[in-house]
Amino acid sequence: MSEQSPSDRAMSPAQSEDSGLAADRGTTYATISIPRDSGQIGIVMAERNDLSFPPMVESISGPVADLLAPGDRIHQVDGVSTIGLSNQQIFSILCHGEGPAVIEIEYSFPEYISQNSLCVTTKIAQITVERENGCLGLTLRGGGEYPLVVTNVRMNGPVFKTGQIKPGDRVLRVDNVSLLNKSLSEAQHILKDVHASGYTNLMIEYDVSVMQTVELSMGPLLLEIERPMNEKLGLILSNYSSAVNLNDIYHSSYKLNEVQPDGIFIASILPASIADRCGALTVGDQILSIDESVVDNGVCTLEEATALLDANCVKGYTQLHILPAHMFVRRRGRYKERDTKNSELSERIALKDIFHGEIRNAVNTEDFQTAWQRQDPSWES
């Protein structure tokens, strides 16, 4: 291959992996290697009329699904600039070289929310993913001095099916191998190693909203939780609250059904799920209604309430009426709701759309609290 003059080369400054942030365009450059598999690369490029701009990846499939992401711009292939080349010419270079294709890409490096927000904290979880054809279905970017951030989760891929890994999450470990200070190519090589079982454990760091309004509430809350269609909230329900102290039960004369109010309660929350990330739900919260369907006071069974939660979300969010777990306190030998009113019954909190599982609204409604008092005479005003 003949050596190119400076004027023939791509406009990016990247000559090696992870050359850093491009301040003028808010993007990062990286050089990665992708396999040439019998001439089938698995890349679809967006149509372009102006060949003075590098081509953009429109969709991906096959082995490159863990290496590229839609939106990546390809600046060079095997050292040849893509400026001035048609998509067909670029595909010819991609498919007919020897060994893996070395491509230089430009991509957007997402800021994860916890970097710049006081309303977000972070958690760590280990997610087990079953590979399909050796692939995980996620794309990493960053590396070196930057965290390794998930920039793309392939629709219906293995990672997508877990419902627990989202763009913006940071991958800390793959099985027992730490990714701390690893370069992008090193991390991609580690990700490609397939365990004999076909399963891979990914340790991720993810963002969780800090909902002080929920923590300080003194009455039922109306929550609207952002939820993409076909994704589950990640809640497991029970007929008993876990907000009570079981040690007190064992050392008292009260029977279980006398100290724990019957109803629909959150028994557990799947780590890194939509319910976990929203930051408004806690184990022990009582569910009063789901999408305007009342579930408390024996109106529906546990199975029916679970079916309501698992139903496809067509409107983009799930609405929950809850009584927070901290409202259950020990008083006069039994557990009951705290007998205080919320001084801001009409308060409405609307949060910025920042990540999956966001709380659209958290509302204390006077009408709803009045209805609760009518249903439960033990609520003292």
CATH, range 212-243+259-327 = 2.30.42.10
For residue 21, pLDDT over 60 is answered with no
Q: Report pLDDT digits (tens) over 337-350.
A: 444 333 333 333 33
Rounded to the nearest 5°, which phi and psi values hold at 121? -120, 180
Interior angle at CA 15, CA 13 and CA 17, nearest 5: 110
Q: In the prediction, which pLDDT does 36 show?
A: 80
C-alpha–C-alpha distance, residues 369 and 110, integer Å: 41
C-alpha–C-alpha distance, residues 288 and 221, integer Å: 9
Handedness of CA 249, 252, 255, 261 (dihedral sign): negative
Q: Domain map of the chain by residue range?
A: 27-108, 120-209, 212-243+259-327
- When pLDDT is cut at 50, 70 and 90, the band that residue 360 belongs to is low
Give the pLDDT mean for 109-126.
73
Q: In the prediction, which pLDDT does 363 show?
A: 55
**Same fold flag, 27-108 and 212-243+259-327:** yes
For residue 179, pLDDT over 70 is answered with yes
Ranges of beta strands (E only) in 210-358 are 221-226, 235-238, 264-269, 286-290, 293-294, 317-323, 328-331, 334-337, 348-350
What is the CATH topology of the domain spanning 120-209? Pdz3 Domain (2.30.42)
- When pLDDT is cut at 50, 70 and 90, the band that residue 87 belongs to is very high
Q: Which residues of 126-164 are buried (b: 16+ CB within 10 A; e: fewer)?
A: ebebebeeebbbbbbbbbbeebbbbbbbbeebbbbebbb
CATH superfamily, domain 27-108, is PDZ domain (2.30.42.10)
- When pLDDT is cut at 50, 70 and 90, the band that residue 185 belongs to is confident
